[in-house]
Amino acid sequence: MPGEDLRDVFARVETVVVRLPSWMGDILMARPFLAELRRRTPARLVALVRSTYAELATWLPEVDDVLPLPDGPAWRRWAYLRRHRPPWVARSLGITLAHSLTSAVELYALGVPWRYGYDTDHRRAFLTHWMAMARERRTHESLHFLRLLLPIVGTIPEVPAALPALRLPETASPRADGPEVYGFVYADARHRPRAWPSERYVRLIQRLTACGWAVVVAWPPWTPPPAISGVHVLAPGVSLRELAETIRRARWFIGNDGGPAHLAAALGVPCVVIYGPGHPARHRPIGTGQPVRAVSADWPCSPCRQRFFRECRPVGPHLPACLDVLNVEFVWRQVAVALGLSG
């Protein structure tokens, strides 16, 4: 099987298994790749994904089925996949969008006969086809995934300006303990140096409430939440489904560069996203046609490798200079334009 033309393999397989990336934002930036596969083949598309984001994968309109990976160490995932090989796997092509060695081993353990991905992390032994890694720092992540289609379809598709909204199931009614009409502020972050300072979010929220907005906020654990009238703080540890439902009902989203910003855009919510170590050229959310505005200092060193404070000095506790320069007035001007506010 090694050496077979990948285009011929793609033309005859009945299932394409796509090992999705490991993080929410990357999964949503993989949607253009999935949409192009959906357009190019009648084969069934199966998402192989970490159990943490298995529910998110079921909301992707481009995917037919989801195969969750169990939690725990890599060997446990491999053993699980070997024991639970579905009958269709013998006629499938596997493509890994994750760059790790373990993602290639997962396709091998699953029994996928043709396995393809970027040549990274010493994983050629587990891939039958591969492509050399080549990317520019400010190439959008979606285009990086779409480049893998070159040997399959003969071209690199463009990143679409908009995609259909996620298929989030409807719920019967909004939450009873929050406002009915509100905006959503995501002040949290997976890594604190990616978060605009909390005290600046407080001042921004005060301006929003002064303009008559109720605000639901996801607040970081490293600082007490604001006690502001008209502000509802989302409880820590809410499920992904509850977070998505809360964001979907919002009139707008303002927040840090991260997975929830991509989620908001994919749900059709107008967004203002604040970038520091990241850069919108690489990580701008893809929406459904609603506006997505980026706030960034556009420093030449961004996006950096985000090995925080090994390559630059903090200017405050956990605060990189590229976020510190974004003062409240600067961010407010962007927000006011996006929301049509004054004050």
Q: What pLDDT is recorded for position 321?
A: 92
Say if residue 303 is preceded by a cis peptide, omega within 30 of 0.
Answer: yes
Region 209-224 average pLDDT: 96
DSSP string, 13-68: -SEEEEE--SSHHHHHHTHHHHHHHHHH--SEEEEEEEGGGHHHHHT-TT-SEEEE
Residue 158, CA atoms < 13 Å, CB-side half-sphere? 3
263/121: higher pLDDT: 263
Instruction: Assess whether pLDDT exceeds 90 at residue 177.
Output: no
Instruction: Assess whether pLDDT exceeds 60 at residue 56.
Output: yes
Give exposure, 230-254, as e/b (b: 16+ Cβ within 10 Å): ebbbbeeeeebeebbbbbbbbebbb
- How remote is the C-alpha of 227 from its chain's centroid? 30
How many CB atoms neighbour CB 8 within 10 A? 9
Note the pLDDT tens digit of each residue in 277-289: 999 999 999 999 9
Cβ proximity of 287 and 272 under 8 Å:
no
- Which run of H or E residues covers position 102? helix 101-110
User: 205: which residues sit within 8 A by CB, 6+ positions away?
Assistant: 185, 215, 217, 226, 228, 231
Q: What pLDDT is recorded for position 304?
A: 87
Note the pLDDT tens digit of each residue in 104-138: 999 999 999 999 999 999 999 999 999 999 888 89
- Say what percent of the chain tops pLDDT 70: 96
Taking the C-alpha atoms of residue 123 and residue 196, their distance in angstroms, rounded to an integer, is 37
**Band of the pLDDT at 170, cuts 50, 70, 90?**
confident
Region 70-86 average pLDDT: 93
Q: What pLDDT is recorded for position 2?
A: 55
Query: What is residue 245's three-state secondary structure?
Result: helix
Note the pLDDT tens digit of each residue in 4-32: 899 999 999 999 999 999 999 999 999 99
Q: What is the mean pLDDT of the chain?
A: 93
Task: Please give the C-alpha separations between residue 107 and each of 99, 113, 139, 288, in angstroms, as whole numbers.
Answer: 13, 9, 27, 32
How many CB atoms neighbour CB 105 within 10 A? 21
Q: Which domains does the chain have, with CATH numbers?
A: 6-153 (3.40.50.2000), 183-339 (3.40.50.2000)
Cβ proximity of 97 and 13 under 8 Å:
no
- Which run of H or E residues covers position 81? helix 74-83
**Band of the pLDDT at 3, cuts 50, 70, 90?**
low
Taking the C-alpha atoms of residue 254 and residue 265, their distance in angstroms, rounded to an integer, is 11
Region 91-115 average pLDDT: 97
Instruction: Assess whether pLDDT exceeds 90 at residue 342.
Output: no
Q: What pLDDT is recorded for position 298?
A: 92
Instruction: Assess whether pLDDT exceeds 90 at residue 330.
Output: yes
- Which run of H or E residues covers position 225? none
Q: What pLDDT is recorded for position 203?
A: 97
Region 207-233 average pLDDT: 94
Cβ proximity of 215 and 209 under 8 Å:
yes
Q: What pLDDT is recorded for position 79?
A: 94
